[in-house]
Structure 1
Amino acid sequence: MQRFSCPSCRQEIFFRNTACLACGAQLRFDPDTGFADLQEGSGTPCANREVINCNWTAHEGVPLCLSCLHTTVVPDLSIHDNRERWERIETAKRPLILMLHRLHLPLFDGRGAAVPRFELKGDPLDGSAPRILTGHANGTITLNIAEADDAERERIRSEMNEPYRTLTGHLRHEVAHHYWDVLTEGRADRLGQLREVFGDERQDYAVALQTHYAEGPPPDWPDRFISAYATAHPWEDFAESWAHVFHLLDGIETAQAFGLLTSATLPQGLDALIEEPMSRLTGVWVELVIALNAVNQALGHETFYPFVLAPAVVRKQEAIRALIREAGRSGG
């Protein structure tokens, strides 16, 4: 993420701000031009500004912004706290949509419809009914809004024995499934390259997940996978690895913006970082997270980044970086 300043008084503002805390100027954000004063220029605010504090400008010809346009189902707002859950999810989703946009990855299908689509649903009030499962199918990402509740998300993380569980991580993981489909459709060369690195995705997905949950990951999984869940199936390995490529790119750009990588010899900004091989990016990233892990621990917090980037993992991340770079250059 970049750093931003108020267009009126030049004081620092943050990506989620609807107003400058220094001068009170009302703000709107455009994915292409950045922040502007709401009262100036031709852009109109997103229709969800008053509903969920969306600070983006409406997309061309529609009342919603580029990010809100991708949400096709919102939670039942008659249920207490669902508006807040929706707002939290959208606040986490806007940086992802911006990152996809800046990487020039397709955000619309051939008919002009926004994809991936997000359906934000809550569990049925009837406790005997099936729960909403977070997942992806045919361009639609379903997200259980319980993930917006910190206590519930921590409970699930503990039950699943996961080192890390965030809304940002969920969103980055799920869009990966969408882009596997989109970026390999009609491209046997890309599909072959991914199969060479991640394995053959044609193996039965349901059976693979059932086996994973019954038997767990192989003992040597940290040598070959970014997470235990990545061992379940090639699609999950790809999605977990994709999410961490996004963590790394966004983390490095943010560190650069705040002057934390002055000694690193990396180019500045996302457009330049995606051109760098993962071997270089991970070298800088590891040095950064060692320091940030130590700072977190000094303050009594959990480890900042509890993952190991083994050589086999970096090879997978490089395949994803190359795919994103090539797709961004060719427009899909």
Structure 2
Amino acid sequence: MKLFQCTNCKNTVVFENNKCLNCGFKLGYSSYYNKIVSLDPSASSWQVEELDGKTYEYCENYNHKVCNWLVDVSRGRKFCLACTLNRTIPHLLNDDNLEKWKHIEIAKHRLVYQLLRFRLPVVRKTKDAIDGFCFDFLAKDDLPEESKDLKTGHANGVITLLISEADPVVREQIKQQMAERYRTLLGHFRHEVGHYFWDLLIRDNPDVLVEFRNIFGDESQSYADALANHYNNGPKAHWQQSYISKYASSHPWEDWAETWSHYLHLTDVLETAYNFGLSSDPKITAKKNLKMNAGFDPYKVKDFKKIMDTGIPLLFALNSMNRSMGEDDPYPFVISKSVENKLEFIHNLLKGI
């Protein structure tokens, strides 16, 4: 994630801030210009010099304290780009629902930020019912009895997320039950949107589909049977040699979505490191080079080797720092050569190589 500053006092602020704690000015984010700007706290709309002098107001969801994105008044919309993707939100008279929705929106806005940085199409279903996508954020208690078994997932551009996933206790319980090494809201979003972009970028592109099958396998095999086999019999033997996670071994579609989400993880971490000017020069001579210099914008780099040569030492350092605080590894995965080839396929696809 990019580092941001208050344009009034130059105080460092984070992506989700809607107020500068140093000078008291309001803060708003422009997805078009990828900027956070300071705003007069006494006004409700602003002519913003840094944004070409256009007049802006907050997204309607600012009223619920879940969004700090700005809307160009001349476009006649009440919601920002990220919030127009919402098809269903939970009942907000329930305070618990509102609190969960806030956490969900933080993760979703970070996802949309990243999709825009990749210059991927972000089109809502109300604008394009065939190729657009949308989000349903659902509480099980609000569902009819016949839908109580609904799960987080993707189908035909509709990404469903059960808001219970925003409860860290529930999320940790599921993580333990499923014997997963990593489970976060942002991870869910990156995984599920990966299914959507498989449909958009690969399904109807014959040449890319052939290459996908050569690397990930034949996705035309029964998805239902593959998942049933995975849950009944466990992951494929020696899955670590070919897959980023146990679940990735269940079916080529899941392998793609898992690997896609990891490519997004890696890119986001590298952008953060780039904005902080991070580099490392370990005090030991290691068999594998642990030196790194994140002095580049990963969204602009075509050389995949540069991504890996910087990303692996960076993730190792990140894990080591967490262990110094008695915390679990934030990236508890091993990237095998097979997984690296899959990541490179995604990299080349996104870079148009």
TM-score by length of 2: 0.87
Say if 2:90 and 2:97, in contact at 8 Å, map to a contact too. yes
- The alignment partner of 1:225 has SS state of coil
Q: How much does 1:265 deviate?
A: 5.3
Say if 2:11 and 2:22, in contact at 8 Å, map to a contact too. yes
Q: Does 1:120 align with 2:148?
A: no
Say if 1:136 and 1:142, in contact at 8 Å, map to a contact too. yes
1:218 corresponds in structure 2 to: 236
Query: How far apart in 1 are the matches of 2:17 and 2:195?
Result: 30
- The alignment partner of 1:48 has SS state of helix
Say if 2:154 and 2:196, in contact at 8 Å, map to a contact too. yes
Q: How much does 1:305 deviate?
A: 1.0
What is the 5 A alignment of 1:83-98? 83-98=98-113
Structure 1 residue runs without a partner (length 5+): 328-332
Q: 1:312 to 1:185 in 2, by over 3 A?
A: closer
Say if 2:227 and 2:250, in contact at 8 Å, map to a contact too. yes
Identity %: 38
Match of 2:70 among 43, 47, 57: 57
1:160 corresponds in structure 2 to: 178
1:330 corresponds in structure 2 to: none
Query: How far apart in 2 are the matches of 1:260 and 1:202?
Result: 43
Q: Does 1:285 align with 2:311?
A: yes
1:198 corresponds in structure 2 to: 216
Query: How far apart in 2 are the matches of 1:126 and 1:37?
Result: 41
Query: How far apart in 2 are the matches of 1:270 and 1:244?
Result: 14
Q: How much does 1:186 deviate?
A: 3.2
More moved, 123-132 vs 87-96: 123-132
Say if 2:8 and 2:38, in contact at 8 Å, map to a contact too. yes
Say if 1:52 and 1:84, in contact at 8 Å, map to a contact too. no
Query: How far apart in 1 are the matches of 2:176 and 2:195?
Result: 24
Q: How much does 1:136 deviate?
A: 0.4
Q: 1:270 to 1:285 in 2, by over 3 A?
A: closer
Query: How far apart in 2 are the matches of 1:107 and 1:113?
Result: 11
More moved, 87-96 vs 71-80: 71-80
- The alignment partner of 1:319 has SS state of helix
1:19 corresponds in structure 2 to: 19
> 1 or 2, which has the higher strand percentage?
2
- The alignment partner of 2:215 has SS state of helix
Q: 1:248 to 1:67 in 2, by over 3 A?
A: same
- The alignment partner of 1:288 has SS state of helix
Query: How far apart in 2 are the matches of 1:8 and 1:174?
Result: 38
Match of 1:135 among 135, 153, 177: 153
Larger radius of gyration: 2
Q: Over residues 247-298 of structure 1, what are the superposed CA-to-partner deviations in whole Å (9 max), with x where a residue is unaligned? A: 000001101111223774565224313x221x33122111112222122112
Query: How far apart in 1 are the matches of 2:326 and 2:345?
Result: 36
Say if 2:101 and 2:163, in contact at 8 Å, map to a contact too. yes
Q: 1:134 to 1:110 in 2, by over 3 A?
A: closer
1:245 corresponds in structure 2 to: 263
Q: Does 1:276 align with 2:297?
A: no
Q: Does 1:77 align with 2:78?
A: no
Query: How far apart in 2 are the matches of 1:174 and 1:290?
Result: 26
Q: How much does 1:132 deviate?
A: 2.8
Q: How much does 1:109 deviate?
A: 6.8
Aligned residues: 325
Query: How far apart in 2 are the matches of 1:61 and 1:234?
Result: 42
Say if 1:52 and 1:86, in contact at 8 Å, map to a contact too. no
Say if 2:125 and 2:134, in contact at 8 Å, map to a contact too. no
Q: How much does 1:92 deviate?
A: 0.7
Query: How far apart in 1 are the matches of 2:333 and 2:253?
Result: 19
Q: Does 1:260 align with 2:287?
A: no
1:312 corresponds in structure 2 to: 338
More moved, 194-203 vs 50-59: 50-59
Say if 2:292 and 2:314, in contact at 8 Å, map to a contact too. no
Query: How far apart in 2 are the matches of 1:48 and 1:172?
Result: 22
Q: Which runs of 4+ in 1 moved over 4 A?
A: 125-129
Structure 2 residue runs without a partner (length 5+): 41-45, 49-54, 281-290
Q: How much does 1:119 deviate?
A: 0.5
Query: How far apart in 2 are the matches of 1:68 and 1:282?
Result: 33
Q: How much does 1:126 deviate?
A: 8.1
Say if 2:27 and 2:37, in contact at 8 Å, map to a contact too. yes
Query: How far apart in 2 are the matches of 1:185 and 1:43?
Result: 39
Query: How far apart in 1 are the matches of 2:303 and 2:319?
Result: 24
Which structure carries more relative contact order (alpha carbon 8 Å, separation 6+)? Answer: 1
Q: 1:70 to 1:109 in 2, by over 3 A?
A: closer
